[in-house]
Structure 1
Amino acid sequence: MKLFVIGCFVVLMVEGVFGKGVLKRDVNEKALKKDEDVYGELNEQDTDLQKDQEDYYDEAEVSDNQPLDNGARRTSVKLDLLSKPETFVQMIGETVRLPCSVSSKDALEVIRVWSKNSNPIFQGDINIKNKHNYLLLPNGTLQVVLEDAEDFGTYSCTLLLSDSERPEVEHKIIQKTSANITALYSNNKMNVFETDDSATLTCEVTGYPRPTVSWYKDNDKLADGESLTIQRVKPKHAGAYRCFADNKIGKPAHQHINIYVNHKPLIQVDKYIVNSDHESDAELICDVSAYPAATVNWQKDGETIVSNEPKIKLERRRNNERNVLIIKDLNEKDFGKYSCVAWNSLGKETKDVNLVKTPVVRKFEKNQSNESTKDVILQWKVESKQPISMHELQYRKQGETNWKTISPDVTDAENDVYLIKHTLKNLEPGLYETRARSKNGHGWSEYSKTVPFEGVLAKHGAHHSKPKHNKKENRLQESSLDIPAQHRSEELVPVGESTSSSTSLTSSLILVLLTVLTLRQ
């Protein structure tokens, strides 16, 4: 019986195994039906499972590969556009890389569309414009080699994720341009102002980055900004104003504008006394400013001097503002007082210049003090065609009547100019004044203008007002300051004694002294 059962089981197993093999090889219908009767429930489950798997793969295939109407592909990876808008300021010949980064490194199949000024230049990795200076890098960055002005503009990168998802980043490439002045003008079209008018000068500029603008007059910087305002115009404000624009790209730009102020002539004379000698030459100079322009001439003894070369020559220099009278081969009658006379429709001005043979003392140039030696060093110059034989220096305290007179040493001249330096020693505190003159073969010069100066002890006097201290006392004070605060009581009080005991001992000594004094009395 046991052998029968085992045999049946073997037969059933063989039939089951070979039955499935027949199914796979498309066996006859009868054998297939028999297997389905025996294993129908299992075969039905296998068939459903296979069908589920086929349906799954079909759906995945459609999801991954079926293109959308707009050419984008669906992706199961969530993407974010990481790149932010940037502005690049560059020059022709430079290379720019415009980023378009996404949040997932696995999203390699995302389609980017690059556009310039809204015109597509890249669809995916296809160079639509076929420009050799555009290159799409593997990470989606667009590299642009700037060849000409057309390569500057606005570039945008768009991700084609779906019909509704199209994130975009926009970059700008702006061309660096050097500073340029496009207009320079004043609030008065004629650039002519009356005294106390308000004048505003404007300098309009272009360039990227934006240029900085500065204003200059006679090489002196006045202000920064595209506008310069003078609240109340005076004759001194007339002249050329220069606008200077710079953005560090190329050469700075600069232009100037002249403004004019209506006023009567103003005369400036550098040397009111001019030294020369017989058979030498002399130049007399006066600078005249006026608007409208002034008429200028030189006069001597009330008579107008006319050009009579080679003896007399009249010149105009520095935009006709400098008026020069040149006299050659001087004789005795050429020395004396000359007048520079200027006039226009608004008034007249006159300034005198003396031509002399005696020395001319120029202004004092230095006033040096030496606190350690209590000395003052005075220095000045003297002009003389003839050799100097003597110098004289006078000084006194301000408010005093009498002068103290000194004769400084005479040194050699350089180009008819003598440099005199003298030291006044041990001056008392206070304010002083000084003057000087010199002598040559034609006599003494006039005294120079009186010049004030300060005695060096004026500073030392402050020290004398401070209370004096005994040197030993000072040393004690200084040494005590070197002792840290927490240790000072330990240093000053003997070991083993307290502060209170020290105070008690001091009181006892004072009592003993008072007793002794009483007994003596």
Structure 2
Amino acid sequence: MIVHDHKLFIVIIPIIMLDISTGEEEDKQLRIVGEEKLHKVATGSELYLECPLPMIVRRPGTIMLWRKGDRVLTAGDIKVRRDSRLHLMGNNLRIDSIGIHDGGKYSCEAEVEATEPLAVVHIVEILVPPTVKTEPKSGEITVREGTSVSIKCIANGNPSPTVKWSRNGVTLKPDRLLHGGRIEMANNGMSLTLHNAHRNHSGLYVCSASNGVGKESFGRINLLVFYSPVIKVSELIVEGGTGYRKQITCTVNSEPKPEVKWFKNSIPIRVGESLRYNIRQSGPDHHLIVKKVGEEDFANYTCSATNSLGKTETIIQLKGNPSRPEFDTRVQRNQDGSYKLQWFTTSHERILEYRLLYRLVTRAEPIDAKQDANLPWSTIVINRPDSVSEPRQTQTFILEGLRDNSPYQAKVMSRNKFGWSDFSEIVSFTTNYIISDPWIPDIFKPAIHHRTEEVERETIRKAGSNSGEQTGLGKGTVRTTEFTFPNLNQAMISATADIINQSQTIILLLCNFSILYLYPFSI
């Protein structure tokens, strides 16, 4: 037994010396058998490398080695590298649970009498699923409106991953505009820069990395754009009535969140000191409630919003005047040639007076505003309007003596005990052509209809002496007048029916005549 152990010791020594010596001979030439084999292996899987040199290895005195690069893994049946994942399967090598550092050049070599060892070479490439690291690591970033901001998504893997960005579920592309800011991507998409950041750029940005190995990897960054308060109001002038409850509202958006205060004629409103007012908030909407409006509450109210970036104020007027009247655009023609105008206005107090203005214009719509400014208005004062108890009040008026087939404009304003309203918007209408000759039957009197429509039309504009003329499509207005004869059409239908009935009667009479007068002669 002692001699046997000694022989084993003698065998091991040359192998170790061979490993050391081969490390110094980096330029040692190998006689490669066959072509190099490429293996692409994903991390975590099993790698099996073959060594098809069985006849050579069996020769007496031949030593077979497995190497990774210059490092010896096995020599003969002995495993030199202490790695539990390495297994000799005859002459072949199996590696379990492949990791990212297992890639490289593997070779099985047979030392023979020739000066150049025989070798079979395997090239192993490790496929690594993508991983993502965001910058900043916290996944949160804030920036001031108007500046530029960069967010990063560092992606690793083999092959190199492809990186894509999305915001709130919408894919982003480079060199595109997003709410007025330009998107720039660099470093194979791993860096995204927003120039001229806008408040609407706030949101969740998601980067996705994929390379065909494993699953996609995602990174998430929440961007918050800071900006000074922005106030929006639906009405700058609010009509109210004494004894009624009234609510004034302003909508405030800002980041960071603002502090909102209310003022009456520049004096702060403190809810705890007054029973007349109440203040409420619903999201970005801030409400000032006047519980019971009195004449002293008709004033200017200021909605003031402040945050760390600035201060914004908007003035809202509460008044008892009527609201701006609204016309019913359907101007009706009466049988006598007069025209009926109708409008609506809101007033919590009784309307005392209307002032109706109308005028004849030179041509139909569209009207040149500069030309209209010089056209005179005729004024009608309505001192006894219809009296109603509801806040929404309706008034009608009959215009007489208008020129036939002519374009007109009208506007109106109303007054209660607190003053006048603003003028309504201008309503435009065209009078119809009226045939008054009593000798012409009604069936030949036309009904006239006007129709205005937007159309595309070809336009030509001069572009300069060198570039010549350029032609394009523009929009214009076409006004069409249609003449129809509804009475005539009905009359023709009735006449046709009478002709058919009369024809049927004549045919029956002819048939009876034939039977009575011709039948005896046939006998």
Q: TM-score, normalised by structure 2?
A: 0.41
Structure showing the higher helix proportion among its residues: 1
Structure showing the higher strand proportion among its residues: 2
Larger Rg: 1 or 2? 1
